[in-house]
Structure 1
Amino acid sequence: MYKLIMPEGNISYDEGLKMQEKAYKLVADGECDGVIFILEHKPVFTVGANGGLENLLVTFEELKNKKIDIVKTNRGGNITFHGPGQIVVYPILNISGYHKDVHWYVSLLENVVINILSEYNIRGYKKPEYRGVWVDEKKISAVGVHLKKWISTHGLSLNVNVDKSYFSMINPCGITEFGVASMEDYQDNVKIDDVKYKLIENFQKLLKINLINESL
Structure 2
Amino acid sequence: MIHSNKPYLKRCFLYHKGLMPYLEAHTWQRSLLHERINNPNLDDVLILLEHPPVYTLGQGSSPDFLKFDPNHSQFEVHRTERGGEVTYHCPGQLVGYPILNLQRHQQDLHWYLRQLEEVLIRVLAVYGLEGSRIPSFTGVWLEGRKVAAIGIKVSRWITMHGFALNVCPDMTGFERIVPCGIIDKPVGSLAQWIPGITCDEVRIQISQSFAEVFGVELVESVGG
Q: TM-score band, normalised by the shorter chain?
A: over 0.9
User: Structure 2 unaligned runs (5+)?
Assistant: 1-10
8 Å CA contact retained: 1:2, 1:32: no
**Cα distance in 1, alignment partners of residues 95 and 197 from structure 2:** 16
**Cα distance in 2, alignment partners of residues 51 and 94 from structure 1:** 26
**Cα distance in 1, alignment partners of residues 147 and 72 from structure 2:** 25
Q: Offset at 1:31?
A: 5.5
> Which residue of the other structure, out of 63, 70, 75, is the alignment partner of 2:77?
70
**Cα distance in 1, alignment partners of residues 72 and 143 from structure 2:** 31
Matched, 1:167 2:177: no
Q: Percent identity?
A: 32
2:8 alignment counterpart:
none
Matches within 5 A, 1:1-216: 1-8=11-18, 10-28=19-37, 29-30=39-40, 32-60=42-70, 62-63=72-73, 66=74, 68-214=75-221, 215-216=223-224
AA aligned to 1:26 is E
Q: Offset at 1:61?
A: 5.3
AA aligned to 2:49 is L
Q: Offset at 1:150?
A: 0.5
Q: RCO greater where, 1 or 2, for CA within 8 Å and sep 6 or more?
A: 2
- Residues 87-106 of structure 1 deviation map (CA, whole Å, 9 limit, x = unaligned): 00000000122211100000
State the TM-score, normalized to the length of structure 1. 0.94
8 Å CA contact retained: 2:92, 2:198: no
Q: Offset at 1:50?
A: 2.5
Q: Offset at 1:27?
A: 2.3
8 Å CA contact retained: 2:93, 2:164: yes
AA aligned to 2:56 is T
2:97 alignment partner, SS class: strand
Runs of 4 or more off by more than 3 Å in structure 1? Answer: none
**Cα distance in 1, alignment partners of residues 34 and 114 from structure 2:** 25
AA aligned to 2:59 is A
Q: Offset at 1:123?
A: 1.2
- Residues 55-105 of structure 1 deviation map (CA, whole Å, 9 limit, x = unaligned): 000123551xx3x11000111100001110000000000012221110000
**Cα distance in 2, alignment partners of residues 95 and 30 from structure 1:** 10
AA aligned to 2:22 is Y
AA aligned to 1:84 is P
User: Structure 1 unaligned runs (5+)?
Assistant: none
8 Å CA contact retained: 2:56, 2:78: yes
8 Å CA contact retained: 2:152, 2:159: yes
Comparing 193-202 with 27-36, greater Cα deviation is found at: 27-36
8 Å CA contact retained: 1:79, 1:173: yes
Aligned residues: 212
Comparing 169-178 with 187-196, greater Cα deviation is found at: 187-196
